[in-house]
Structure 1
């Protein structure tokens, strides 16, 4: 009996200690984070009752602002930018907390951040509350063109400055109107959210950075880089002209798009997007080389976007692969569970454009206080350096060839040299996703872009060159001010 009592006492002591430590962690260690989490309803109550700064584009269009009301919550958050900017601004909701820029920069918007609140100490005596106004890197002129070109087709467009990582445009379709989620009628808010959450088209999902797709032949930019970086002898190897490649260890073959025949050296293979040639390059490279190159470009990690929700791109798990595994051949052309977000693919294009350096992507440009003084400015910094400047220059020349006489002629802009790569990614159905990535001007890039148009039932010939390239061309023209 004594032993049982002692065992029970020890157990109770362990349980008490565990509870005490957890309470200590929550109340002390995590107290500040929990107290300021925008998903905390008490935080929402507090923040709704105080002024909140505006969110605007780089060219001055107001996307989010607060107006006084006579009800208990005192201020109504409004989104003049509506659906077009919902994937960026997010929402600020009493019921559902915050997302997007509203969540990432809520401390500045509400004036709780030290750099805004401390500057406002002198305003205590004149009853003036400090807030922060967030100016984005997004340019409305480019955003509007991207949205108009994508239209009502499911997909996404991402455009950024490859030298800074600043996002110039980021469009998702379908999207949602954040205004109903910011309303003060909580029953109406809940009904609106439930309807959006139940929609099979997933309008709440920011496809531009929160969804992942098979990149198809746009991944051949990574495979090309791997060949030049890790096995330079492959750059001068001539691959045979084939209609399909017999895959090792199987009775299957890998065909070229449309049943065409192709072959030659690396520049020609990229120009015509030769599946058989790139599949063999993948086998020649080997598992470790191709996988390492993909990881160097950012596969296996999420891009460090400054708003929450960026998805992690993936290269397949290769632990059980054979040295010349057929899945390696498929991965080299962007199939076989290779998946990436449109943002990730834009960053691949930007790395090639920026002499082998991918910059950290961001939507915040600067934050100013009520007096217009800058309290925070985003300082560009590098994220990854996947290739050398020499390799980046060589890949650029090959991507120029794709535009000037290959599969990406549809992205060509008069008077501006564009470098690009198309992609047509097979899906589980009969149709395919249409992709393109690229940058311009090729010799001094100011914009890198990625476009995906999801597979559309009943639409044939939905290739990257036919469907995605014209969208990217218009976005490049808007960003450069080109005719």
Structure 2
């Protein structure tokens, strides 16, 4: 054999060797990936041959499957429409799953290892194998109230969020982001129509697909004063301690004075900490924050949950990832030293302080729950396809203890005073003790202020039954009062509908 033929033979052998190696790579290492790919048509047909389990709250199903006469046997439907979209997510044919549909996909689809006995039984009996059912902690009444009140708010706001939790357990009672979206078109078996619906939502400048309750970080305004008050109480200040106040105060490194929202708010040279919280005294808290120092404020905020990236509550987030962390900002001058002006502005929830609505609810919940902050969760129970087998029950877990029981008690007294005597009166409702803190935050030179409210409700025995945060973006004048009113309605609905938590 001449040299050219030998070379051709070697090349052919090398090519066959590479082909053999690639075949083994695909069979040994890539088989599962290709088998389970969303683009594998046979996998899609097989997945839709099985009835997917329900997602329910309070005895009502908000994600169900109906039989069709098409190539894909079952169609995913969402009877609750936009009211539950940011909790449930959606299950599309060719797009990525989101929300509970994603985080509990294997159980809902019936492919979870936990359901193997159910699959074997159905195989022996010839019954149709179905997916498992996911029961959520949501209060239907509170969720509906949060959605309706946000959509019909009195300030005409189009963007905002609300989240309510049970302070004792962390169970989420309501979670709404505005604007929302109807997940039904996204689950259409017409993949072209589903993609068009998704692209339209994705292009919307108001970002309806964003879960604002978990992923939107905005300046919290005066709600952050609860964190500053907690730091003060742990550093020698009491509810009755007199702190410097006044109609205006200019930090030593700034020519820009800090003023109160109205001339009638703490014009005196000194006020008690209780009155400073009740009236929402900017000048008092600006000076108090500078007196405490940046390190103490940042550490107290961290203990409440700021700067923490470990709050991974996949069931709460639309994409199954970690919740956006809240931040306090550096509070520093360009040279790295603490800037009193930046610290003063941060102490009233401005400058670089950014908070999610979830973080606001967790602050209120910790105050209500004697200083114990519970890990928030949405999935209460997992039931098998026959609904008689229980595969999971939620086990409430403590997340952190940002304050002592005594400090929490003092903060509760001050927050109750805000609702009874101060800026949060509209959050009150009969039969319960309500505490809270309003917040008005500047959003920019040419935009209206954000309106915030964080708060809690205690029953007649002093037991915390609900904690809430409501955000109305660019709400303008009266925005925090409207947020307080909505928060009160949500908490009232949650306690009335307590049987569904």
Q: Matches of residues 66-465 of structure 1 in structure 2 within 5 Å?
A: 66-127=65-126, 128-152=128-152, 153=157, 154-229=159-234, 231-233=235-237, 237-262=241-266, 263-302=270-309, 303-307=311-315, 308-309=320-321, 310-318=323-331, 321-372=336-387, 373-428=389-444, 429-441=446-458, 443-456=462-475, 460-465=476-481
Deviation at 1:397, TM superposition (A): 0.8
- Normalising by structure 2, we get a TM-score of 0.85
Is the 1:82–1:176 Cα contact (8 Å) retained in structure 2?
yes
SS of the aligned residue for 1:56 comes to strand
| Whole-angstrom distance in 2 between the partners of 1:107 and 1:37 | 14
SS of the aligned residue for 2:436 comes to strand
| Whole-angstrom distance in 2 between the partners of 1:194 and 1:291 | 40
SS of the aligned residue for 1:103 comes to helix
| Whole-angstrom distance in 1 between the partners of 2:378 and 2:277 | 32
Question: Which deviates further from its counterpart, 233-242 or 330-339?
Answer: 233-242
1:371-408 CA distances to partner (integer Å, 9 max, x unpaired)? 22211111110111111111111111111111111111
SS of the aligned residue for 1:76 comes to strand
Partner of 2:11: none
1:75-132 CA distances to partner (integer Å, 9 max, x unpaired)? 1110101000000000001121210000011111012222222343222112331421
In structure 1, the gaps of 5 or more residues are 1-19
| Whole-angstrom distance in 2 between the partners of 1:36 and 1:293 | 46
SS of the aligned residue for 1:375 comes to strand
Question: Which deviates further from its counterpart, 467-476 or 236-245?
Answer: 236-245
After superposition, the Cα gap between the structure-2 partners of 1:105 and 1:35, relative to the gap in structure 1 and judged at 3 Å, is farther
| Whole-angstrom distance in 1 between the partners of 2:325 and 2:352 | 13
Question: Bigger relative contact order, structure 1 or 2, given CA contacts below 8 A and separation 6+?
Answer: 2
After superposition, the Cα gap between the structure-2 partners of 1:123 and 1:444, relative to the gap in structure 1 and judged at 3 Å, is same
After superposition, the Cα gap between the structure-2 partners of 1:24 and 1:300, relative to the gap in structure 1 and judged at 3 Å, is farther
| Whole-angstrom distance in 2 between the partners of 1:361 and 1:124 | 38
After superposition, the Cα gap between the structure-2 partners of 1:360 and 1:434, relative to the gap in structure 1 and judged at 3 Å, is same
Structure possessing the higher radius of gyration over alpha carbons: 2
Aligned length: 454
| Whole-angstrom distance in 2 between the partners of 1:87 and 1:47 | 24
1:460-483 CA distances to partner (integer Å, 9 max, x unpaired)? 523312x1111111112212229x
Partner of 1:5: none
| Whole-angstrom distance in 2 between the partners of 1:401 and 1:435 | 17
Deviation at 1:228, TM superposition (A): 1.4
After superposition, the Cα gap between the structure-2 partners of 1:36 and 1:322, relative to the gap in structure 1 and judged at 3 Å, is farther
After superposition, the Cα gap between the structure-2 partners of 1:41 and 1:207, relative to the gap in structure 1 and judged at 3 Å, is farther
After superposition, the Cα gap between the structure-2 partners of 1:350 and 1:42, relative to the gap in structure 1 and judged at 3 Å, is farther
Deviation at 1:359, TM superposition (A): 0.8
| Whole-angstrom distance in 2 between the partners of 1:204 and 1:148 | 18
Partner of 1:56: 56
| Whole-angstrom distance in 2 between the partners of 1:236 and 1:297 | 24
| Whole-angstrom distance in 2 between the partners of 1:119 and 1:377 | 19
After superposition, the Cα gap between the structure-2 partners of 1:25 and 1:334, relative to the gap in structure 1 and judged at 3 Å, is farther
SS of the aligned residue for 2:146 comes to helix
After superposition, the Cα gap between the structure-2 partners of 1:314 and 1:417, relative to the gap in structure 1 and judged at 3 Å, is same
| Whole-angstrom distance in 1 between the partners of 2:142 and 2:130 | 32
Deviation at 1:340, TM superposition (A): 1.2
- Normalising by structure 1, we get a TM-score of 0.88
**RMSD over aligned Cα atoms:** 2.6
Is the 1:38–1:106 Cα contact (8 Å) retained in structure 2?
no
1:140-185 CA distances to partner (integer Å, 9 max, x unpaired)? 1111111221124321111111111111111121100000000011
| Whole-angstrom distance in 1 between the partners of 2:297 and 2:40 | 44
Is the 1:44–1:93 Cα contact (8 Å) retained in structure 2?
no
SS of the aligned residue for 1:223 comes to helix
Is the 1:41–1:94 Cα contact (8 Å) retained in structure 2?
no
| Whole-angstrom distance in 1 between the partners of 2:331 and 2:27 | 40
| Whole-angstrom distance in 2 between the partners of 1:277 and 1:267 | 11
